[in-house]
Structure 1
Amino acid sequence: MIGRLKGELLEKVPPQLVLDVNGVGYEVDASMNTFYRLPGVGQTVVLFTHMVVREDAQLLYGFYDRQERSLFRTLIKVNGVGPKLALTILSGISVSEFVQSVQFEDTAALVRLPGVGKKTAERLLIEMKDKIKDFQVDDVADFTLTDDFGDAPPVADNRAEAESALVALGYKPVQATKAIAAAEKGLEPGASSESLIRAALKSMVQG
């Protein structure tokens, strides 16, 4: 199994990135919380990974730190939560926020995430209650986006990329379009796709 990768960041197209490790390009799906902390394209990055082997595919998921990967691995053990949904959860909520939601039995915070209905949220609260004791809760992270995204693509491309990322994370196309349009109004003109995604996710998750 592949548990860690260190290499040059070749591509960043949320929620997927490509990492060049000694000439081999690894396609990795990452949560948006990990994307927010990545350096610019061309820089060296270390990712802690989890590999999922299926009959029709071999999928690699990457995380900026061990804590997020550990929560991902715990989430996918919950009945009804697969890797895609676990990644979506970790894109809309930080490790600290998730732990606090479980501790305070905040079902409302979880059902705002795409793919998490009331029954799934209740199951998460029940099954994760004892498991989160191993996770240390820090102050809720407010990650700063890197300014180095390589050559800035046109604004329309940023918008389309941001919408595609939200759809890939489980949001409906109409929902994604509305969320990105609303996010644009609160940001500087020409905002990066990652800034748009972050603003959109924050507004949808916080309701």
Structure 2
Amino acid sequence: MNPQQVYDLYRKDPLQDMWDYSPMLRDVAKGNILEIGARGGVSTAAFLLGVEANGGHVYSMDINPDCATLYEGHPQWTFIHANSGNVEDMRKAVRQFKFDGWLDILLIDGDHSYDAVCRDIGNWVQWVCKGGLIFMHDVDPQVSAEQIAAWGWVKDEPRRAYDEFVAATGWEASILPGRFGMGRIVKGQLSGIDSHSKSL
């Protein structure tokens, strides 16, 4: 299916975990976007529809190689088969970036363990431009602990990483309402994390 078909399909399912946020992601999507965690391509579809209208390119990183077929051939999409927290994979990912500047949007929605979320913050926030948007999914899930355990992650770990990061930076931040909670952070200036290199 193409991005519009996927977007339309999942707009019919209020239980889908991106249902509350897909319209917003579509509206803000422009420029260079990296999403960590692609899975079924729902957020990817929203981002792609946005960059089709507003210009830009979407990079989707996932450890599942099958995600490569989600929107294969789309001129504004690059799939990166990588573990976002692995240094060698990070180097491989950076070499696939088709730009020399900064990311405009970062979505962190990969491994939900506290350590992994912190690694994603540490590895990838440095690529976001000042004033760029950082989204962190699943920071306030309104579902049972049993359901979350069935998915293989601990309920409060993404939220703890989010809260600590916001407290440490002091950047403008809010949690968008919805069944799973989406953290939204506007990147400010912080010396020491605003440098990056494709020669990693």
| TM band (smaller chain) | 0.3 to 0.5
Q: Which has the larger radius of gyration?
A: 1
Considering fraction of residues, name the structure with more helix.
1
